[in-house]
Amino acid sequence: MKGKRLKNVQKTLLFYKLHFGIDAPYRLLVDGTLCNTAYSNHINLAEQIPKLFQAHVRIFTTKCAISEVEGLQARFGVSRGTSLSILHQFPVIPCHHPLAGNVKDCFSSKYKYNTQDTDKNKFCVGTQDQELREHARKSGGVPIFTLKSRVPCVEPPSDYSKSLAEKQTVAKAVPEHSKKVIAGIKKDQGAEESGEIVKKRKRKGPNPLSQLKKKRKTLPSSPKTDGKKARKRKRHHGDSKQEDISTLIKNLT
């Protein structure tokens, strides 16, 4: 069962690597809800998370996440040194929230680049908070680490992440395909253009064709007249020659 779970996690991480460029060393943002559950179940996050990922994982938190836990402890009187002490184990990554803000807004300002083709750092999220997890699912491209009872796991990609991945693969496939399509279109266009030229040349041809038709009309209609004309011409030529000869004789005599 453990082997199958690890395989599923590797499959999920491979998905994020292929489609969103998220690879080891992973950057994981954790909040107070995760640390609280880990504390309740005696789970050492710093040990268990790299084992699950089977890679180097750099675990971070933010001052917004810390202040949220501090606020909850002050509000509900939870003794210090519990989830807050776990949270303080991890480096605090800077955020641009002067007043400790909402953890969802804080974390999303970090993982919003996950779906973009950018050199900026991409983040995984570790939380038990339903609202934050749902936001990460809808943002897409965010690996989500949770504790199901005592079992660490990485959620399978959300439907939105899958749809984004499909769009990206299509977008990547289009250039190669479009090249072939464009080449095919150019060939067709070239054939059409050459065909047009031939047609145009043929269109210029109707003049001789029409002439031929006229000849066909004239030839069958008056073959005898042509013969007569030719004979007349010959006679004329013959007559003229005879006349010339007779005039020469006359002149000589």
Which parts of this chain interact with Zn ion (CB under 5 A)?
Answer: 62, 64, 95, 97, 106
Q: Residue 64 CB, nearest distance to Zn ion (Å)? A: 3
Residue showing tokens 């955020």 = 95
User: Which positions ≥6 away from 45 have C-beta within 8 Å?
Assistant: 30, 34, 35, 38, 59, 86, 89, 126
Between residues 131 and 226, which has the closer beta carbon with respect to Zn ion?
131
In 3D, which of 150, 32, 128 has the Cα closest to residue 87? 32
Helix, coil or strand: residue 55: coil
Between residues 63 and 137, which has the closer beta carbon with respect to Zn ion?
63
- CA–CA dist 4, 127 (Å, integer): 23
- CA–CA dist 232, 53 (Å, integer): 112
Between residues 94 and 175, which has the closer beta carbon with respect to Zn ion?
94
Between residues 52 and 136, which has the closer beta carbon with respect to Zn ion?
136
In 3D, which of 112, 129, 197, 148 has the Cα closest to residue 1? 148
- CA–CA dist 161, 211 (Å, integer): 73
Between residues 62 and 139, which has the closer beta carbon with respect to Zn ion?
62
Q: Rg of the Cα trace of the chain?
A: 46
Q: Residue 101 CB, nearest distance to Zn ion (Å)? A: 5
Look up residue 59 and give its amino acid: I
Q: Residue 102 CB, nearest distance to Zn ion (Å)? A: 8
Q: Residue 139 CB, nearest distance to Zn ion (Å)? A: 16
Look up residue 11 and give its amino acid: K
Measured from the Cβ of residue 144, the count of other Cβ atoms closer than 10 Å reads: 23
Between residues 67 and 168, which has the closer beta carbon with respect to Zn ion?
67
